[in-house]
Amino acid sequence: MSKLRLWGQPRSINVVKVLWTLDELGLDYERVDAGGKFGRVNEADYLTLNPNGLVPTLEDDGVPLWESNAIVRYLAAKYGSAPFLPADLARRARADGWNEWTSLTLWPQVQKIQVQLIRTPEAQRDLAQVADAHEKALAALHILDRELAKRPYVAGDELSFGDLPLAATAQRWFNLPIERPILKAVEAWYQKVKERPGFKRWADLPLA
């Protein structure tokens, strides 16, 4: 069995995706705190593992990998099986697609709201930015809602690696102090994914 080492403090959303994936796959690993208050990411040794100076980084038998979605996909491909790693390549690409969509379309808007409403003192908040991000996030979530009305999980009838980054992002959305119109299919999906032990252990965090 390979020796897995994950660098990253467990409050970072991109680290959470990998921790939850490791749990779903039942893998043993070592975790080293890095990033945020733990620093380390700009030290020369770390930069040889991840030239971006960001977390997460996963070492698999000493081979360093970075970019959380790529790590999730790699772990699923190397250690997973269907349905977590969909056997059908088109379904697998759909799981991949939702991970990219999460990072490129949904997360940037949710992150802006989180930064403004949770991390910025009230007097300094840019409420116009919050309103704009809220509108864009909702537009994206309406797309997700229409897709989840057709199938219970993003890539089909069962949970796959494509649900995890999205669910970690949804956890932020559902805990932000904002108005949320009811999106029935998204909420039905979220009720299921939040019961996974890996979600409870790693993703269900108070917002900070």
Ligand X SMILES: N[C@@H](CCC(=O)N[C@@H](CS)C(=O)NCC(=O)O)C(=O)O
**Where does this chain bind ligand X (CB under 6 A)?**
12-14, 35-36, 41, 54-56, 67-68
**Shortest distance (Å) from residue 207 CB to ligand X:** 13
DSSP state of 37: G
Whichever of 20 and 145 has its CB closer to ligand X, that residue is 20
Q: Are 20 and 164 in contact (CB under 8 A)?
A: yes
Whichever of 10 and 156 has its CB closer to ligand X, that residue is 10
Cα separation of 110 and 19, whole Å? 21
Whichever of 13 and 49 has its CB closer to ligand X, that residue is 13
Adjacent-strand bridge partners of 32: 7
Whichever of 100 and 158 has its CB closer to ligand X, that residue is 100
In degrees rounded to 5, what are phi and psi of residue 33? -65, 130
Continuous segment of H or E residues that includes residue 200: none
**Shortest distance (Å) from residue 149 CB to ligand X:** 28
Residue of minimal Cβ distance to ligand X? 35
Angle, in degrees to the nearest 10, between helices 68-79 and 164-175: 140
114, two tokens: 């989180």
